[in-house]
Amino acid sequence: MKRVFNFSAGPSALPLPVLERAAAEMTCANGTGQSVMEMSHRSKDFKPIIEKTEALLRELMGIPKNYQVLFLQGGASLQFSMIPLNLAAGESGAPRKKAAYIDTGVWAKKAAEEGAKYADVRVRASSKDRAYTYIPQAPAPEPDDAYYHITLNNTIVGTKWAALPETSAVPLAADVSSCILSEELDVSRFGILYAGAQKNLGPAGVTVVIIREDLIGHAPSWTPALLRYDIHASEGSLYNTPPCYGIYITGLVLEWLKDSGGVSAMARRNREKADLFYACLEKSRLFRSPVEKPFRSLMNIPFICTLEDAEKRAELEARFVKEAAAAGLVNLAGHRLVGGMRASIYNAMPIEGVQALIQFIEAFER
């Protein structure tokens, strides 16, 4: 069967060379006579896999030496709890520290709600007033904030921060699940970065955490062991069995990215893809982008029908998604909370996929 162009927001498309290499190495990885799925995480066979994956990530992102790289589980959603637990929660009976959050969409809102269980969360700005179609002005942090949390790219609504907020000495924490490695990022501007791998980095099951060393070791004594950054850091992400196969695939993705020219080259391709698609929507008479121009994402592009009648609009959008799938353009339905359509054009999406979608839109419109 011919491969489709997969526009899923996650789990998302992986580079074809990565899938082909993984298939070739399925039963015998690195000449070991076994699959990575079968390896002990503490064996001499797996050790070079996790070490190489970390080294590649450090190289591609320019991660400073005073940052730890952790390969964890639980997705970005578990980080909604781990960050306040490790940075703002107090010992039993002690007051919780303040934490600043900026509400820019569903996942940012969920992060704040979960964080409020362990920290004194203050939502300092929100774009909910205009259906999260823009990024609000970010106020300066207060000196006693434990951290300042943002969602750098908002997968569901298709917005991104055009410029990072200035947080001075307050650590900036960011969910980068849907934009990691899509553009160059100054890691030193952040105290902690985290990303579920299943959007732009690898398969579901791996969560990457990049954390400055001085932020490790502050969890209260009652924190469960698996939720403590210091334990994972001291054990090299091997305190318990990590998602071994997912880490291996992530390593292959990083090799592919390096061979493709690195992050700067990928950023140019991503901009070219996004510019093509936004230009298509600008000239369309039937579809439009709901996102304000300065804040449009490179990775996730929602679009909606311009018909005023809600029933007819819903019918046409459902027809569009169905006929696109029949044409080999799959997973274009928008998130269930916002409807419409959404094209996620992560690093692994070739420009040919975007061109095929544009041609389909033009034909559908005719």
Residue-by-residue DSSP string for 283-345:
H-SSEE--S-GGGB-SSEEEEEE--S-HHHHHHHHHHHHHHHHHTTEE--BPPTTT-SEEEE-
Residue 229 pLDDT: 98
Confidence band for 339, pLDDT divided at 50, 70 and 90: confident
What is the pLDDT, as a whole number, of residue 42? 94
For residue 92, name the pLDDT band (cuts at 50, 70, 90): confident
CB under 8 Å to 77, separation ≥6 — which residues? 110, 114, 196
The Cα 177–Cα 200 span in angstroms is 7
Is residue 199 flagged as an active site residue? yes
Active site residue 175: yes
Query: What is the predicted pLDDT for the residue at 102?
Result: 98
Q: pLDDT tens for residues 5-26?
A: 999 999 999 999 999 999 999 9
Per-residue pLDDT, 226: 97
What's the DSSP call for residue 276? Answer: H
What is the chain's mean pLDDT, rounded? 96
Mean of pLDDT values over 92-111: 94
pLDDT band at 337 (very low <50, low <70, confident <90, very high): confident
Amino acid 94: pLDDT: 85
How do residues 181-205 score in pLDDT, each as one tens digit? 999 999 999 999 999 999 999 999 9
Average pLDDT on 308-330 reads 95
What is the arithmetic mean of pLDDT over 259-272?
Answer: 98
Checking if the pLDDT of 1 tops 80, the result is no
Q: What mean pLDDT is predicted for residues 302-307?
A: 94
Residue 260 has pLDDT above 80, yes or no: yes
Domains of the chain, each with CATH number or no CATH = 16-259 (3.40.640.10), 262-365 (3.90.1150.10)
Catalytic-labelled residue, pool 97, 98, 160, 199: 199
pLDDT at site 354: 98
Residue 93 has pLDDT above 80, yes or no: no
∠ CA 98-99-100, nearest 5°, is: 130
Is residue 45 flagged as an active site residue? Answer: no
Which residue is catalytic, options 107, 160, 161, 273?
107
